Chains A and B, each alone.
Chain A
Amino acid sequence: GAGVSQSPSNKVTEKGKDVELRCDPISGHTALYWYRQSLGQGLEFLIYFQGNSAPDKSGLPSDRFSAERTGGSVSTLTIQRTQQEDSAVYLCASSFALGGVTEAFFGQGTRLTVV
Chain B
Amino acid sequence: GIQVEQSPPDLILQEGANSTLRCNFSDSVNNLQWFHQNPWGQLINLFYIPSGTKQNGRLSATTVATERYSLLYISSSQTTDSGVYFCIQDNQGGKLIFGQGTELSVKP
Contact = CB atoms under 8 A, between A and B. Distances in A.
Nearest to B44: A106
B42 interface: yes
Given A37-B41, A89-B41, A104 B94 contact: no
Contacts of A91: 43
A67 to B, nearest CB: 14
A31 B41 contact: no
B31 A56 contact: no
B41 A102 contact: no
Contact of A56 (B42, B86, B95): B95
A43 B37 CA distance: 11
Q: How large is the interface on A (under 10, 10 to 19, 20 to 34, 35 or more residues)?
A: 20 to 34
Interface residues of B, number: 19
Contacts of B96: 33, 35, 45, 93, 104
A109 B42 contact: yes
A45 B95 contact: yes
A111 B35 CA distance: 19
A92 B67 CA distance: 31
B42 A42 contact: no
11 contacts: A33-B96, A37-B41, A43-B86, A43-B98, A56-B94, A89-B41, A93-B43, A101-B48, A104-B33, A104-B96, A106-B42
Interface of B: 30-31, 33, 35, 41-43, 45, 48, 86, 88, 90, 93-96, 98, 100-101
Interface of A: 31, 33, 35, 37, 42-43, 45, 48, 50, 56, 89, 91, 93, 101-106, 108-109, 111
Given A43-B98, A56-B95, A104-B96, 19 more contacts: A33-B96, A35-B96, A48-B95, A56-B93, A56-B94, A93-B43, A101-B48, A102-B30, A102-B90, A103-B31, A103-B45, A103-B48, A104-B90, A106-B42, A106-B45, A108-B42, A109-B41, A109-B42, A111-B41
